[in-house]
Structure 1
């Protein structure tokens, strides 16, 4: 059975990611990309679906872990009766001279600290989401053993420890004394090529550490929850593909929003909305180059007719994200179905163009120069927004029920035209600003007339009196002031109906608006959006308290999943969730700006 979701730590080389449990098991690894098929899939089943465990033989060994500074090299220190030793786990970052198609290296380094500690590797490789049993053979010499596994297009080479077969799995034992260092490296490469040369582990780990720390040193750090904000920005970088610039929503698929329920989705793709919000957070902390990289990705992904724009793409800009269910993986602790692909790619979500234009305008304000195609792209997107102005949508939460005129979506339509007008009038770009201003004013008048309940709060959608946590973002995009009476009334109604045990739900699921059965847990990003709103409307103490409350729910290495199960006291949903981490950055920034320093 997999560990609790909060028991996993992230490894990343900005091309793919692995999850390592407190018990030393790598239970999730997709190769060679975040959205490739898993080689280790025990996270969505058990050891039979692929896992690589490395821990001391002593059953009472005690583990403590941390990242090696501002990196994603995980150091797990094991204390046993016979001694102390560490496991250093890392997906190494190759120099730019090494193309992604050549190799991916996962290092597990044993370091003896004191005494003597015996470790056992338990390895079960199950490529293609556990649908393939690889052909495995021994190569190399006794001094330099190699275990080679091939399944279709993928080949894995294990070097370091000597693995012996055991019932369709492999084991290796290694004992380290004080001062000993023993490396085992799993290398992925295309199966039609010869295995790449052995990794220079010391050099690779050193380069990886330097790469991460150089990136972290450029962070423009604020005072509020400094460590948590830095780690969140690092996680956002860890979810950004180094080559394409695509920013994925999470490193996993199908971790349940409700344990035992059907709300299991694949988040290993690039949502324009989430990526745009991530971009804003990175730009706010000094990473203008990230904006340029993602803008290039965007231009490639949606090149052509804007009417064919999707709201989510593959990491390289792929459009075919056919959603389907896997029978080979039973689900996290039995929570089925396990889905790959995402049907939201076929939805119309009216807010997305607004999110993109808001982010690009923030980058423009920060000094990002226009490329040859960037402003023409934005003009084309505004033309598309004009054509679909009166069309209902599926909203920010990608409902599977009937489309509506969601108030949040309509406010982002307003924001799209607002940023078009400002681009012309503030930055001197060419465009029909008067036409866009008329469309902007239409959107505002429509929301004022149809998006406000008799009680004075903004509504989830036209004709409803329900609220939705996404309404907390209206001041952030400039639609209204944080202390607008309608906004304050919206906050009060959210506090009355959506805040449970101090955390915020996205919306009430019992209304049936989302077209799904069951319930869900509080959404961490929404709780942080409320904290941001508190800070911007003068409730700084409440904002600080909410940020503190959410930060206390992070795991021991600073990771948040999507939701939090208050009754079960456990994280829920896909992890690490970009939206949760960027919402923390925004909330902490808002508290800092309001004078709520630590």
Structure 2
């Protein structure tokens, strides 16, 4: 390889100017079937249709040639302001140009259901509102005059197949794109023209003028809305989100806004047809700039179940909680009766991982991965996550559904069989299996919660058996998982720290005043942080099968907030919480990681886990403050 080739292959410097927008500058849209990311310049750089885990039709997020859709002023890339309509996932962007002012509104449409969904069929009872499978974009000139430009350039199958466009005969306001077995229909009141694989339109708007465009992937034969209906659909979508949010219990507190935004993100990442929640909207956004820690997160992780149920029930979103639990009840177990660590949002088990060498990756981070090879890993934490969520749901619903009891039995028995075996751990390490403390801990959670559920069911014999195994696991952890200085280890063969041991505090493994918990919390806060934010582990001390460093993990930092609150260090908890809230994206969103050296978000975006942990951390502090007032 020549010196020129080597330079071209090297990852970009941290502070280098990049053609890729910063991750935190993207806005998130959702119709609860799929989601889109809109860059600050007005380009839709990520959209998979018809569902979250479908191949992308706009994939410029991962390669600047993999498809984009811009509806914005010509020649102007930096807007004056961007914000969500309060209480919604509807985006409004205001632009100042040399000759005028323009506001653009973007929404993935949710409207009243008119019949069965043929595009993404439901396995859960459909609600009164559902996705229309439309992206609607409107523009209004506020003052002066503005030249509006539309560029729609889809590239199907993650950029592999350019679109073939045809204009409607005798009507240059309708264009149809075909490719890789998919069809998109574009309607606009701008005159459209085909330029190779893209459609372009432009028009000068003067004060008071409006323009619109819509992109449809609805079922063949459906009639896309006209201009008047398109505008009305944005208002209906606004009403939908506000009505939904009104049903959430959000306290009147200084953190009300981030709690509401987190609730809207979690709902937006929920796949309405099945009740599943994707871990994030995207794939292969790097955890290390220019590195190889790039994963596909468009699936449902069983380890997220407890955190999801906690957040939903705390927000009084009991319908969503029940939908999610029914999805868990539906998934197919493996041959030994255990649940996989993750499933497709439609419940499928097979999620083979492939790489796309034809894509540059976000800012040069390769490989780009589709699917996730960790789906068949052994992770012993899954049993505790599932059974803790069932107990949470049982307590809130005041009943243990009959269809959930077999899951309780099978997962408790699986945990009993495997708790003494090594595994890959909560972080899905691709190194050698180890006796991870957090995995043992979650097996303890599995048997402890299963015993409580058996007591609720009136089965005292089974409860006693499971309780005995739980105590055996606890004794093993305390004998082998605590270092000489009284701190929980990452795994039995090391004294290294791991943020996942904070789960011992969050799941009540020991009393809050136990010195070992306090020392663990203090050690992580003081030794496993970067500028006060928490790392998962030190990559130079952990065989995770990968190279390179990674940023601080936002979920781990929020876990530390919760742990500090639980052990009574309320002021430290508040201080860290305020710092975390201050690094949210301009629109209140969080990725997976935060690079403290450069102040930027890293990893897939928006990340459900980060927002779920935010809700729990805020809830613990708010509850403590309310108790002090009594």
1:196 to 207, 216, 223: 223
Q: Which residue of 2 aligns with 1:273?
A: 303
Q: Which residue of 2 aligns with 1:412?
A: 442
CA offsets 1:373-410 (integer angstroms, 9 cap, x no match): 11122112112222223221111100000111111111
1:447 counterpart = 2:464: no
- Which one is further off, 523-532 or 173-182? 173-182
CA offsets 1:84-104 (integer angstroms, 9 cap, x no match): 111100000143334443461
CA offsets 1:125-169 (integer angstroms, 9 cap, x no match): 101001112221001544x72110111331000001332123432
1:109-188 equivalences under 5 Å are: 109-139=138-168, 141-142=170-171, 145-160=173-188, 161-188=190-217
- Which one is further off, 573-582 or 473-482? 473-482
Q: Which residue of 1 aligns with 2:39?
A: 21
1 CA distance for matches of 2:214 and 2:461? 55
CA, structure 1 residues 387+214, in 2 after alignment: closer, same or farther (shift >3 Å)? Answer: same
Kindly indicate whether the alpha-carbon contact (under 8 Å) linking 1:154 and 1:189 is maintained by their aligned counterparts in 2: no
The CA deviation at 1:360 is 1.5
2 CA distance for matches of 1:524 and 1:517? 21
1:248 counterpart = 2:278: yes
Q: Which residue of 1 aligns with 2:463?
A: 433
Q: Which residue of 2 aligns with 1:44?
A: 62
> What secondary structure sits across from 2:161 in the alignment?
coil
Kindly indicate whether the alpha-carbon contact (under 8 Å) linking 1:22 and 1:63 is maintained by their aligned counterparts in 2: no
The CA deviation at 1:325 is 0.3
Q: Which residue of 2 aligns with 1:216?
A: 245
CA offsets 1:35-77 (integer angstroms, 9 cap, x no match): 100000000111x210011221253864301111111110001
2 CA distance for matches of 1:304 and 1:513? 27
CA offsets 1:214-237 (integer angstroms, 9 cap, x no match): 111112113251100110011011
The CA deviation at 1:426 is 4.0
CA, structure 1 residues 122+540, in 2 after alignment: closer, same or farther (shift >3 Å)? Answer: same
Q: Which residue of 1 aligns with 2:540?
A: 510
> What secondary structure sits across from 1:251 in the alignment?
coil
> What secondary structure sits across from 1:49 in the alignment?
coil
Kindly indicate whether the alpha-carbon contact (under 8 Å) linking 2:284 and 2:361 is maintained by their aligned counterparts in 1: yes
CA, structure 1 residues 491+61, in 2 after alignment: closer, same or farther (shift >3 Å)? Answer: closer
Kindly indicate whether the alpha-carbon contact (under 8 Å) linking 2:148 and 2:203 is maintained by their aligned counterparts in 1: yes
Q: Which residue of 1 aligns with 2:112?
A: 95
1 CA distance for matches of 2:455 and 2:505? 22
CA offsets 1:271-296 (integer angstroms, 9 cap, x no match): 01124311211111111222211111
Q: Which runs of 5 or more residues in structure 2 are unaligned? A: 1-18, 120-131
> What secondary structure sits across from 1:348 in the alignment?
coil
- Which one is further off, 173-182 or 568-577? 173-182
The CA deviation at 1:361 is 0.7
1 CA distance for matches of 2:259 and 2:542? 36
1 CA distance for matches of 2:93 and 2:37? 14
Q: Which residue of 1 aligns with 2:513?
A: 483
The CA deviation at 1:427 is 5.2
> What secondary structure sits across from 1:263 in the alignment?
coil
Kindly indicate whether the alpha-carbon contact (under 8 Å) linking 1:538 and 1:594 is maintained by their aligned counterparts in 2: no
Kindly indicate whether the alpha-carbon contact (under 8 Å) linking 1:155 and 1:189 is maintained by their aligned counterparts in 2: no
2:48 to 30, 37, 43: 30
> What secondary structure sits across from 1:518 in the alignment?
coil
CA, structure 1 residues 61+278, in 2 after alignment: closer, same or farther (shift >3 Å)? Answer: closer
2 CA distance for matches of 1:166 and 1:482? 65
The CA deviation at 1:424 is 2.4
2 CA distance for matches of 1:368 and 1:67? 37
The CA deviation at 1:509 is 0.5
2 CA distance for matches of 1:156 and 1:431? 59
Q: Which runs of 5 or more residues in structure 1 are unaligned? A: none
2 CA distance for matches of 1:348 and 1:224? 42
Q: Which residue of 1 aligns with 2:588?
A: 558
CA offsets 1:300-329 (integer angstroms, 9 cap, x no match): 113575535211010100111001101232
Q: Which residue of 1 aligns with 2:29?
A: 11
1:262 to 292, 303, 306: 292
Q: TM-score, normalised by structure 2?
A: 0.91
2 CA distance for matches of 1:214 and 1:430? 44
> What secondary structure sits across from 2:249 in the alignment?
coil
Kindly indicate whether the alpha-carbon contact (under 8 Å) linking 2:305 and 2:389 is maintained by their aligned counterparts in 1: no
1:365 to 391, 395, 406: 395
CA, structure 1 residues 370+544, in 2 after alignment: closer, same or farther (shift >3 Å)? Answer: same
The CA deviation at 1:202 is 2.8
CA offsets 1:416-462 (integer angstroms, 9 cap, x no match): 11111111224536771111011111111101110100010011111
CA offsets 1:542-588 (integer angstroms, 9 cap, x no match): 11111111111111110000001112221111000011111111111
Kindly indicate whether the alpha-carbon contact (under 8 Å) linking 1:39 and 1:126 is maintained by their aligned counterparts in 2: yes
2 CA distance for matches of 1:387 and 1:60? 58
1:401 counterpart = 2:426: no
1:258-407 equivalences under 5 Å are: 258-302=288-332, 307=337, 309-407=339-437
Q: Which residue of 1 aligns with 2:267?
A: 237
The CA deviation at 1:495 is 2.6
Q: TM-score, normalised by structure 1?
A: 0.96
1:474 to 484, 489, 504: 504
CA, structure 1 residues 98+27, in 2 after alignment: closer, same or farther (shift >3 Å)? Answer: farther
Q: Which residue of 2 aligns with 1:2?
A: 20
Kindly indicate whether the alpha-carbon contact (under 8 Å) linking 1:292 and 1:368 is maintained by their aligned counterparts in 2: no
1 CA distance for matches of 2:485 and 2:303? 30
Kindly indicate whether the alpha-carbon contact (under 8 Å) linking 2:40 and 2:79 is maintained by their aligned counterparts in 1: no
Q: Which residue of 2 aligns with 1:75?
A: 92
Aligned length: 594
Kindly indicate whether the alpha-carbon contact (under 8 Å) linking 2:163 and 2:197 is maintained by their aligned counterparts in 1: no
